[in-house]
Amino acid sequence: MFFLQTVAPTGGVTSNEVFDRYPDLVSSIGTDMGAFLPELVLCLGIVWVIFVDLFSKRQDSRRPGWHALGVLGLSLLTLVLGGFPSAEEAGSLFHGMVVRDGFAVFMKLLLTIGTAICVPMVMSHKDLQGRRMGEFYGLLLGSLLGMYMMASARNLLMFFMGIEFASYTSYLLTGYLKGDRKAAEGGVKYVIYGSVASGIMVYGLSILYGLTGSLDVGAVAQALIVTKASPSLLIITALLCFAGFAYKISAFPLHFWAPDVYEGAPMPFTAFLSVVSKAAGFAILIRFVVAFGAPGADGQALTLASGKVLDLDWPQILAVLAMFTMTIGNLAALWQNNFKRLLAYSSIAHAGYLLMGVAAVVPRIGAEGDPGWQPVLFYLVVYLFMNLGAFYIAQIVAARTGTEELPGFAGLGKRAPVLAVGLFLFMISLIGLPPTGGFTGKWQLLKAAWENGLHTLVLVAVTNTVISVYYYARIIKLMFLDQGDGEGYVLPVGQRTAVVLMVVPILWLGLFMDSTVHLIRSLSFAVIG
């Protein structure tokens, strides 16, 4: 066997031994709980929302939604009050199960805001009226809790738990509209693809455990350097692990589930999947890549993430995956006629753009510049607003026209100018044109990739941008240049405000990105190992 040089895992451990090893086990849990407040709020919130639902009438399906919003607000508040831990404060909680650093807090903020935008969409979705919605919000909050774990996990077991927790709740939510054929199809496909991907990932994680006898990411990375594990084994292991992440971010080659699931799921949950779930996937992927790219104790840098393995360096492999992901996403999107499917492929393409930043996460030897995760975070912020905004407007339009197909958008510029201009701005931001955040965000990703010497990747990415114009511009064309039928309508103030609230960050980030970039640069990242 080619991985004989493994460290034998320690045998069974009795509970006494555990206490011997961690004398402060109980007391530290108490102190760590303070930093765990946002998660605790969510845990209680899940119960609370279901509880509220039990005591409300069936037709009163919005009520648990308001409570869910309250829970999210409370969680957001605890996150903000906790602040961003500085580099000195950054560390791990619960004996190395989760990390607490600026990166994790920022990601959690992002995930919470994204979920909070989805909740009103759920509340106003016409197919989700007059049902018992307590479980829906409970599952949604549960999914968010799983994603909190994904953003801060540092133990391989936590990696797996976080992903699975977020996934199982997502399977249920996808198929929430039980009678709907497409929803059922989407739900089943999601479960099958998800289970396969998780299975593959768990196999990869188990090899890591087998090689090193540890589940702590830092210890694993250290042990891999010390034991000088076989490069071919490492590359196979990493690819196996990557399966799990790729499925979460819908990257090539595990992107097949996305279009069907996106089409089948209720629109607000599609929005949630395409933005929040993807952001969490990127958080955990970055955590993984950085952990294994951290300099080792003996100064020998880089094992998995950027070492030259089999004459292939890791950033190059990620770059190739990024190229395939964005190209496949964009080419497939050209042929779509359903808005949700189109945005599904567009979100695959965007996973490719974001992977470009991940490929640059660990500066290659000799390269300097900002770590690639910073542009990824910036782009995720932009992506959150532009993609959720697009879905939000699509939901309003779909409710009016009764169809989620593209022709429903025809003549929107005349019928509802505010919606049309809003969607237009989100589209040009998705293309990546100034003066929107999509441009500055993509520019930063390109910059990071170029800085790391991934020149081919940059060329492929800009070519993809040109390809993507065709299908985004189709929507612009439908809205403004084509004649549509249907009455014009005046938007309620609430919807109008919501559109403006999502457009403003897009323009702000496009014109004045300085403060956000500074904030992201100041975030601490707990380097494990």
Give per-residue burial for 373-388: e unless 16+ CB within 10 Å, then b: bbbbbbbbbbbbbbbb
- 379 is written with which tokens? 């782009």
512 binds other proteins, rule: CB under 8 A: yes
Nearer to other proteins, 298 or 514 (CB): 514
458 binds other proteins, rule: CB under 8 A: yes
Work out how close the CB of 317 gets to other proteins at its nearest, in angstroms, rounded to a whole number.
22
Work out how close the CB of 12 gets to other proteins at its nearest, in angstroms, rounded to a whole number.
49
Q: What is the rounded CA–CA span in Å between residue 505 and residue 494?
A: 18
Work out how close the CB of 520 gets to other proteins at its nearest, in angstroms, rounded to a whole number.
9
Q: What is the rounded CA–CA span in Å between residue 394 and residue 325?
A: 25
Report the residue from 43, 450, 486, 508 that binds other proteins according to the rule CB under 8 A: 450
Q: What is the rounded CA–CA span in Å between residue 174 and residue 170?
A: 6
- Name the segment binding other proteins (CB under 8 A); options: 51-59, 84-92, 268-276, 444-452: 444-452
Q: Work out the angle between the directed axes of helices 493-511 and 437-451 (0-180°, nearest 10).
A: 40
Q: Which residue has the tokens 């594990």?
A: 229
Work out how close the CB of 483 gets to other proteins at its nearest, in angstroms, rounded to a whole number.
11
Contact 160, 93 (CB under 8 A): no
Q: Which of 183, 192, 205 is nearest to 260 (CA)?
A: 183
- Residue 127 is given by DSSP the state G
Q: What is the rounded CA–CA span in Å between residue 228 and residue 246?
A: 27
366 binds other proteins, rule: CB under 8 A: no
Work out how close the CB of 413 gets to other proteins at its nearest, in angstroms, rounded to a whole number.
9
Contact 386, 275 (CB under 8 A): no
Q: Which of 139, 406, 147 is nearest to 263 (CA)?
A: 406
> In sequence order, what are the beta bridge partners of 91?
100
Work out how close the CB of 464 gets to other proteins at its nearest, in angstroms, rounded to a whole number.
9
Work out how close the CB of 286 gets to other proteins at its nearest, in angstroms, rounded to a whole number.
20
Nearer to other proteins, 2 or 512 (CB): 512
Nearer to other proteins, 277 or 464 (CB): 464
Nearer to other proteins, 105 or 513 (CB): 513
Q: 298: part of which helix (H) or strand (E)?
A: none
- Name the segment binding other proteins (CB under 8 A); options: 128-136, 189-197, 322-330, 450-458: 450-458
Work out how close the CB of 416 gets to other proteins at its nearest, in angstroms, rounded to a whole number.
15
Nearer to other proteins, 44 or 473 (CB): 473
Report the residue from 88, 311, 485, 514 that binds other proteins according to the rule CB under 8 A: 514
Work out how close the CB of 266 gets to other proteins at its nearest, in angstroms, rounded to a whole number.
33
Residue 1, helix vs strand vs coil: coil
Site string for other proteins, 397-436 (x = CB under 8 A): -------------------------------x----xxx-
521 binds other proteins, rule: CB under 8 A: yes
Q: How far is CA 331 from the centre of its chain?
A: 22
- Name the segment binding other proteins (CB under 8 A); options: 235-243, 261-269, 340-348, 466-474: 466-474
Work out how close the CB of 473 gets to other proteins at its nearest, in angstroms, rounded to a whole number.
6
Report the residue from 340, 439, 495, 498 that binds other proteins according to the rule CB under 8 A: 439
Q: How far from 310 is each of 184, 234, 237, 361, CA to CA, in Å?
A: 44, 10, 14, 20
Four-CA torsion 381, 387, 389, 394, nearest 10 degrees: -170
- 215 is written with which tokens? 């589940």
Report the residue from 306, 327, 429, 465 that binds other proteins according to the rule CB under 8 A: 465
Site string for other proteins, 475-504 (x = CB under 8 A): --x--xx-----------------------
Residues 6+ apart with CB under 8 A from 175: 183, 184, 186, 187, 188, 190, 264
Work out how close the CB of 305 gets to other proteins at its nearest, in angstroms, rounded to a whole number.
22
Q: How far is CA 192 from the centre of its chain?
A: 20
Report the residue from 183, 451, 498, 525 that binds other proteins according to the rule CB under 8 A: 451
Report the residue from 18, 462, 500, 501 that binds other proteins according to the rule CB under 8 A: 462
- Name the segment binding other proteins (CB under 8 A); options: 38-46, 106-114, 217-225, 442-450: 442-450
Contact 318, 306 (CB under 8 A): no
Contact 193, 278 (CB under 8 A): no
Contacting other proteins within 93-122 (CB under 8 A): none
Contact 355, 251 (CB under 8 A): yes
459 binds other proteins, rule: CB under 8 A: yes
* Count of C-beta atoms within a 10 Å radius of residue 165: 19
Report the residue from 368, 483, 487, 490 that binds other proteins according to the rule CB under 8 A: 368
How many residues line the site for other proteins (CB under 8 A)? 30
Q: 24: part of which helix (H) or strand (E)?
A: none
- Residue 405 is given by DSSP the state B
Interface contacts to other proteins, rule CB under 8 A: 368, 428, 433-435, 439-440, 443, 446-447, 450-451, 458-459, 462-463, 465-466, 469-470, 473, 477, 480-481, 512-514, 517-518, 521
